[in-house]
Amino acid sequence: MGRYGKHALFFLLRSGLLPKISAHLPLVVALLFCTPIIISQNQITEREHYLWFDQMVGVENSALYNGIGYSEKFRVINQYHKFFKTTEFLPGSIVFDGNLYPGLQMKYDLDSDQVLVNLKNGSGIVFLQPIKKKIQSFTIEGHQFIHVNDSLAKANNISGFYEVLWQNSQMKLLEKHFKKRFKREGKNSIYYEFKSRNAVFLFYDKNYYPVKRRKDFIKIFPGLKEEIQAFSNKSFPKSDSRRHMIALTSSIHTLLLNGETSLQ
């Protein structure tokens, strides 16, 4: 059995197909022995390897398929929907229970803080919510999200999916997207509108700090007060505060790295 045959055996374990090996014997033989012939000429990336596997056995045969069926609870009649970016499914990937599932079609429900995946079921399509506690991270249309659920975060009433705006080994700038739900009564019906909200946190020195203005960063890094004040003469403009906070976080990291000033 070659290197890719060993990977194939691992993937069978990952997918839960191995207990049903008798029903998939031709596929097992192909995966374990024929795979080196198919791809031995190319060194492929981990993502490409997962894509290849899911194309061979189908995502519907994987652990990701053990989700909760999705049904819409709220009627929306205008542009004020509850999803991230759009009501359409967007390209993305999920790290679920330690395994990467790329090449998915996804939505992110900001009202319930749940991920919705469009999966094939035979000749049909099903909408599933993968089990939330097993999702470590996901990417949707180039935006990276991580599942924040550690004990420190929970102690600060912080949990759920957060977009990673900037990160390195020392700190992370995280944004929480959510939407506030409003019930509306029309002439003959009830419908809902969802208005966007957000909150940004800096994870540094084993703590989560809410940040919105320059003074919030000064409280965290008092030794960098002059540098932070010099970064911008005004508060972050509301229309572009995200970009300014990313740039400031990067600048603070550079100052700390170069040891140009103390933190106290």
Picking from 173, 195, 210, the residue at the C-terminal end of a domain is: 210
Kind and range of the H or E run holding 256: helix 241-258
Q: In whole numbers, what is the pLDDT of the chain averaged over residues?
A: 79
> 151-175, pLDDT tens digit by residue?
888 888 899 999 999 999 889 999 9
Does residue 2 have a pLDDT over 50?
A: no
The whole-angstrom separation of Cα 60 and Cα 71 is 19
Average pLDDT over every residue of 177-181: 95
The whole-angstrom separation of Cα 53 and Cα 108 is 25
pLDDT of residue 231: 79
Give residue 263's pLDDT band: very low, low, confident or very high (50, 70, 90): very low
Whether 171 contacts 204, CB under 8 Å? yes
**28 part of a folded domain:** yes
**216 part of a folded domain:** no
**145 part of a folded domain:** yes
Highest mean pLDDT among 33-37, 231-235, 240-244: 240-244
Structure tokens at 77: 């009649």
For the chain, the domain total comes to 2
pLDDT of residue 258: 83
**217 part of a folded domain:** no
Could you tell me if 181 and 105 lie in one domain?
Answer: yes
Picking from 162, 189, 210, the residue at the C-terminal end of a domain is: 210
CB under 8 A, 24+ apart: contacts of 195-201 = 195/80, 196/110, 199/175, 200/165, 200/173, 200/174, 200/175, 200/176, 200/242, 200/245, 201/158, 201/162, 201/173, 201/174, 201/175, 201/176
Could you tell me if 86 and 160 lie in one domain?
Answer: yes
> 8-46, pLDDT tens digit by residue?
544 454 555 454 444 554 554 454 444 443 444 444 455
**27 part of a folded domain:** yes
**Which of 254, 163, 263 minimizes the C-alpha distance to 203?**
163
Could you tell me if 118 and 159 lie in one domain?
Answer: yes
The whole-angstrom separation of Cα 254 and Cα 264 is 17
pLDDT of residue 224: 92
**231 part of a folded domain:** no
Give residue 109's pLDDT band: very low, low, confident or very high (50, 70, 90): very high
Could you tell me if 73 and 204 lie in one domain?
Answer: yes
Going by C-beta distance under 8 Å and a sequence separation of 6 or more, which residues neighbour residue 51?
A: 102, 103
Does this model's pTM top 0.85? My answer is no
**Which of 162, 232, 240 minimizes the C-alpha distance to 202?**
162
Nearest 5°: phi and psi at 43?
-95, 115
- Whole domain around residue 38: which residue ranges? 3-57
Highest mean pLDDT among 36-40, 191-195, 210-214, 224-228: 191-195
pLDDT of residue 133: 93
